[in-house]
Amino acid sequence: MKLAAEVAAEQDPKKFLALIVELNELLEEKERRLQSQGHPTGKPTSK
pLDDT tens-digit readout, 1-47: 798 899 899 999 999 999 999 999 999 999 999 989 887 766 665 65
Q: What Å distances lie between residue 31 and 15, 25, 28, 47, CA to CA?
A: 24, 10, 5, 19
pLDDT at position 41: 67
For the question of whether the overall pTM of this predicted structure is more than 0.85, the answer is no
Give the orientation angle of helix 2-9 with respect to helix 13-36, to 10 degrees.
150
In three-state secondary structure terms, 32 is: helix
pLDDT at position 39: 73
pLDDT at position 1: 74
